[in-house]
Each structure stands twice: as C-alpha cells, then as structure tokens.
Amino acid sequence: MENQNRSIAFSWIVPSAILMIVVLTMLFSFSLKSSSEATEAVSKNLIEATEQYSNKCWVEFNSLKAVAQPIKKLLEKEGIQDKKYVAELTDVLASGSSAGKVYFCDKTGQGIDQSGEDISLADKEYFQTILSSSGTSYIYTEEETDVAAKVIVVAEPVVTSNNDEGYLLMYYSLDKFSNLLSKSDLEVNAFLALVDSEGKIIGTSGAKSGILESGNLVEAVESEDKEAAKTIRNRMKNGARGSSAVTVAGQSYTLVYIPFGINQWEMFLGVSQAYVDRQVDLQWERTKSMLTALIAVIFIFICIVMVVNIIGKIRRTEKEKQLEDKADTDLLTGLNNKLATERKIKEYMLQNPQSQSMMFLLDIDNFKKINDTMGHAFGDEVLRSLGQQIGVIFRASDIIGRIGGDEFMIFLKGISDEESIRKEAKKVETFFKGFQAGEYVKYAATASIGVAIFPQEGSDFETLYKAADQGLYKAKKRGKNQLAFYRDEWVQPKNGEM
C-alpha cells in the first residue's frame, strides 16, 4: 500500500513539478516576447489605418474615372466636332465630380475647356506622357495649370465611331489631399504622404515634418539609414506592405507603407516613435490579466491530471491539424493544393449559397517559354514568388490555391456589391502589373485572368469553374496579360451608377 501511495504521489508530484516549470518558463518567455508582440500589434493597427486612408483617396481618384464614363460614351456616340456640345458635356462632368477643371483635347493637344475657351497642351510634358499611355491614365504634374500648383491629371481616352480620337482631362487638386488627416484619431504629429515608385512625394497631409522637406521621402531616409531605405525600396518594388522605424533630421518616426493601387504609387503614414512607444505600453498593460491567470495555474494542483490530459489532447489535435494542413498545402507555393482548394470552395458554397463571391482563374502567360529559356528552377521560382506575393493582398478568409502547373485559383468570399467586384478585379489586375520574380534576375511575369461571380454565374463549383474558364479563354483570345469577366457587363458600372 505504501508503495502504491508513493506511486500515486509520484504520479501527481512529477506532473505538478513539470507543470510548474513549464508555466514559469512560459511566463518568463512571455515577458521577454511581450514587447515585440505589442510592437507587432501596434504595427498591424497602423497598417490598417493606412489602408483606410489609402482606400479613401483611391476611391476619390477612381470616382473621377467612373463619373467620366457617361460623358465619354456620349462623346463617342455623338462625335467631338461640335465644340459647344463638347464644352457643355465637360462642364457637366466638372460640376458632377471633384475635378477642379475638365478639358477636352485631340491627340495634337488642341481643344477646349469647360467654358468653351480654346486651349493648347501640346507643349506640356504631362500631355506627352498621356499620349504614350493606354487606357485611363493618372499623371502627377507640377506644370502650370489653372487648378493648383500640384495636380493629378486623370486622362480618359475617347474614340468616336468616326475614329476621331481625343482625351477627357480631369484635373484633381492635391490641395484636397492635404485634408485627408483633418479628422484623424492619430497623434497631431502624424502625416500622410503619397509617393511615386521612386519615392518622390506627390502629396502630403497632416503635420509638417523634416522627412518631407527634400521632396523625396525614400531619399530622405536613405541619407541617414541606408538599410531602412533598402528595405522600403524592396517592399515597394514587390508590392508588399510594411513598417520601418527611422530617424531623419533628429526626428524618430515609424513609417507605414502600402501599395496605393495606381501607377505603383505608395501611401506612407508617418507617426512619431514616441506615439508608437505609448501604444506599445498600452498593449503591454492589456496582457497583465493574462499573466495573473497563468500564475494562478501554478497553485491549482487538484487540476494537474486534467490539465495534463487536456494538454495531451491539444497536442494530438494540433498534430492532426498540422498533418491535415500539410496534406492540403502545395509544397512549392505554400498555397492550397488543387484538392484542398476545391474542397474548401465547395464547403463555403454549401454553407453560404446566397453569399456573392468571386472566382479568379489565373494562368501565367508563356510559362513553357519561361521553363525552356530560363530553366525549370527559375520557373519554380516564378511560381513560388507568385504564391508568396499574391497571398498577402487578400484576406486570410479567402481561398487561394494552385490547381495546376501554372494555374492558380482565387475565391473571394462575401463581395457585397458591384463596385467591390470591380475593385477586387482591379486589385488582381494591378498586382500583375507590378509582379516580378527572381532574386538576382528580375522577371516580370504576366497572367491571363478569368473571373466568374457566385452564385449568379454558377451555383456549384463545376459550373462556376467553367464560367471562370470561359473568362480565362476570353483573356487569352484578346491577347493575354489581362483580365476578363465571364459576363462583360461587370466591367463597367451600369448607366446611372457612380
């Protein structure tokens, strides 16, 4: 009996001692990691704030294009020879949009403003940039205009049925951008900066700062911290969001940056390091209750066996989940494999039969040529880079998978309205304009993309897949390197919509 009691006591004491050691170790480790974890949480919050400001600005820029569509269609239908009629339409566009001025000109730069006065833009550098662009273009210029010292020119091409060509030019004053932080919940020293792909500052909002004085934000960082500037440039080039702590002109900042979605521009949010430190301290305060709960576990000896059993069960569950995740994962890209992608989409469709969603079917253009000319190892690197980069631009709840050699599928859940459909399609299309693969040799891979909408174009996986495949076929037939919907009516807003 004594031996049995000793055995029973030993079976309790050993797990109890182990539990104490584990808990104490966890507490010690937790206290060491808390600062970095709090910093990550604050960084995430700042990135979300930057996204909100960026989306607000992006929507305003994109709304100029949307408002211009009805005017563009009228000009293409009725022609551009009647100057009075053209002036009336441009005046309507100016009145119904946030553009400070609206011009119409032909390909030689000759045209009229919204009041009917003749204009000539032939000698303007930004007009030459517009001529070399295709589709809607967004041009930043500091050349003299009637609107402001710094403007974004939104140029919408017009081609009439008689093949007369011209442009609707909408001038957006960047003075409006300066009001973006007017009702900010952030500190008074925070600033926003919209920069181009080289770091040149296009517009600013919020507090004045020494980091903005040179006119090039990245070069200002580089002058004092080359490694931080290198990190920022690389992330901008790869279309990745991030944050960096920098000190410029004696002032310490945390810079948060995300792709803007137009012309490879980037939106930067700058907040003082003192503000970030205060937010980190607040995050640490919130963890004290967790520490108290963990300490209490040490003294709950009665529950030791139960805790050990629970821990064992959790470990078994985690191991099973790891095995399931491994079975679902494409080893090259880290995305879902074909079977997991199809299963997860089918499960979502079954559980949410009326939730409007989008299916993208991507096919890398000329992938066989990449393998043949640059080698299969580089081809694998293209696929791997695509898997890594495309995964960060969508929500964790969305389903992204590789379903073939160079074929990928994206399923976006719960897309509420048509504007969101167009926005998400634009996001995917824009992603491939900046996508590059390769660590030393950069290769700009393109893709043909087909899109279908659930449940309108397919209430089950097979039907929706066929619809997306039809969209992919359209994109390839039209010359590749583009996105095509199964139904083209999704491409533009309906008449009367903004």
The pLDDT tens digits for 179-230 are 877 666 777 888 899 999 999 998 888 888 888 888 899 999 999 899 999 9
pLDDT at 2: 47
Helices (H), 238-375: 273-285, 288-298, 304-328, 338-351, 367-374
Q: With contact defined as beta carbons under 8 Å apart, do 141 and 125 qualify? A: yes
pLDDT at 412: 94
Round to whole Å and give the CA distance between 355 and 414. Answer: 6
pLDDT at 276: 85
pLDDT at 413: 93
More confident residue, 402 or 187: 402
pLDDT at 132 over 50: yes
More confident residue, 326 or 334: 334
Query: Of the ranges 35-49, 288-302, 399-413, which one carries the lowest mean pLDDT score?
Result: 288-302
Omega prior to 455 cis, within 30 of 0: yes
HSE-up of 159 (CA within 13 Å, CB side)? 4
Nearest Cα residue to 201 out of 228, 177, 181: 177
Round to whole Å and give the CA distance between 106 and 488. Answer: 28
Round to whole Å and give the CA distance between 447 and 472. Answer: 10
CB atoms within 10 A of CB 338: 14
What are residue 152's DSSP bridge partners?
140, 172
Q: What is the mean pLDDT of residues 134-147?
A: 84
pLDDT at 346: 95
pLDDT at 162: 84
**Which positions ≥6 away from 127 have C-beta within 8 Å?**
105, 109, 121
What mean pLDDT value characterizes the chain?
Answer: 84
CA dist list (Å): 303 to 15, 183, 391: 11, 52, 42
First to last CA, the chain: 85
CA 445, 450, 454, 459 torsion: positive or negative? negative
% of residues, the chain, pLDDT over 70: 83
Cα 235 from chain centroid (whole Å): 12
Q: With contact defined as beta carbons under 8 Å apart, do 270 and 251 qualify? A: no
> pLDDT tens, 458-467?
999 999 999 9
The model's confidence at residue 290, banded by pLDDT at 50, 70 and 90, is: low
Q: How many residues does the chain have?
A: 498
Q: What is the pTM of this model?
A: 0.52
SS3 287: coil
pLDDT at 157: 93
- Indicate the burial class of 391 (C-beta count within 10 angstroms; 0-12, 13-18, 19 or more): middle
pLDDT at 323: 66
Find where tokens 């992919």 sit. 472
The model's confidence at residue 250, banded by pLDDT at 50, 70 and 90, is: confident
Max Cα distance, the chain (Å): 110
**Hey, what amino acid is at 46?**
L
Could you give the strand order of the β-sheet that contains 137-141, starting from the edge strand earlier in sequence?
118-120, 110-113, 101-106, 165-173, 151-159, 137-141
pLDDT at 200: 92
pLDDT at 297: 65
Q: What is the mean pLDDT of residues 370-390?
A: 85
